Amino acid sequence: MYRLLITLTAILFFSTGYSQKVEGIKKGSGSHSGSSGSKSGSGNQSSGSSSGYSGYSGGVGVDPACLIDGCSILFNIFSNMETRDERPQQPTTYKRPSSYNETPEADSIAPADTLKKMRSYTETPEPLEPPANNRSRESLVEEEKEEEGSRRGQYEWFYFTARGSFYPADYRIFVPELTGSIDPLSYSVRFFMIAEERLDKTDYYSTLDFQPLQVNFVNRKNVLWKMGIGGMAETFSSKVYFEFTTNVKWRMGSKFDAGIEGRMATQNGVVRREVSAAVNYAIWQKSNKQFLVGINGMSAQYYQTVNIDVVSVSTGFRF
């Protein structure tokens, strides 16, 4: 509607100006002819054209300069109309490949609350506490250390045992013994009594063997090796002899263990040589406490002349 009104106005303005121009030309030509007719015989073209120009520029006609200005104004109007009708073209932009890091446009930036939510999701979550029934790594390490310590712990703190023979029939032995360990040292004391059956009487022979100083060369949960020095007090002669001992014990599982022991008492010669071996089984145990039964074999020689070989059973308590 706006363009139509402007177009009609321009046409009306143009027609009005054109009609005024035509009338002015007619009037100028009439006056030009009248002035040329009044001058008889005058062939001066310059005066005629001068009078004609003055008639054209009189107050009656339209100035040609104004007409030219009106046309230029009309041309500018039409030019502006065409310029307004054309839609501005969007500048072509080069789209980078998706592999490039593109900076988001201003209208694509999320609100502050949305960014806050997104940040809360992307932040590193706090570590969850392990369930109560699952052991943590620290507890496993502590258990491993405890197990390692138990493997390297002492073989025994206290051991009391007593054994009695049942073979052969002509010999009977009874040996209660107490041993203990305070790493790296151990101690041992025992009472050894042997009875020999004769036709007319029974001979008894007994000793008190004590080892106050034994060195533990190996003292772990599964293996014990110790060596010591002490004395053998003989009741028959009321003499005390120097005695050297060595002892090895090892565990064969949670309930079985075995041991070998050697003794030698001397004074101006060998008074006694003794070698014994034992195998024990724990018929009851709780934690590091055990109640044991076992079988023992012993071979001894006294004064390099008397040989005694017996088999005995034993029982004892260890922790």
Domain range summary for the chain, segments of one domain joined by +: 1-33+63-83, 158-318
The pLDDT confidence band at residue 199, using thresholds 50, 70 and 90, is: confident
pLDDT at 213 over 70: yes
User: What does the pLDDT look like over 246-291, one tens digit per residue?
Assistant: 999 999 988 999 999 999 999 888 999 999 999 999 999 988 899 9
- Which pLDDT does position 14 carry in this prediction? 64
Q: What is the mean pLDDT of residues 199-217?
A: 92
pTM (2 decimals)? 0.53
| Of residues 161 and 19, more confidently modeled | 161
pLDDT at 115 over 50: yes
| Of residues 97 and 314, more confidently modeled | 314
Which of the listed ranges 136-140, 257-261, 302-306 does the model predict with the highest average pLDDT? 257-261
Out of 129-143, 192-206, 214-228, 276-290, which region has the weakest mean confidence (pLDDT)?
129-143
Angle (CA) 98 100 104, round 5°: 85
User: What does the pLDDT look like over 50-105, one tens digit per residue?
Assistant: 333 334 344 444 455 555 555 565 556 555 555 554 455 555 555 555 544 555 55
- Which pLDDT does position 197 carry in this prediction? 85
Percentage of the chain surpassing pLDDT 70?
53
Taking the C-alpha atoms of residue 230 and residue 265, their distance in angstroms, rounded to an integer, is 9
Q: What is the mean pLDDT of residues 289-296?
A: 95
Taking the C-alpha atoms of residue 78 and residue 3, their distance in angstroms, rounded to an integer, is 10
- The CA dihedral of 77, 78, 80, 82, to the nearest 10 degrees, is 160
Assigned fold of 158-318? Porin (2.40.160)
β-pairing, 185-197 vs 202-219, is: antiparallel
Contact 61, 18 (CB under 8 A): no
- Which pLDDT does position 170 carry in this prediction? 87
- For residue 184, say if its preceding peptide bond is cis, omega within 30 degrees of 0: yes
The pLDDT confidence band at residue 314, using thresholds 50, 70 and 90, is: very high
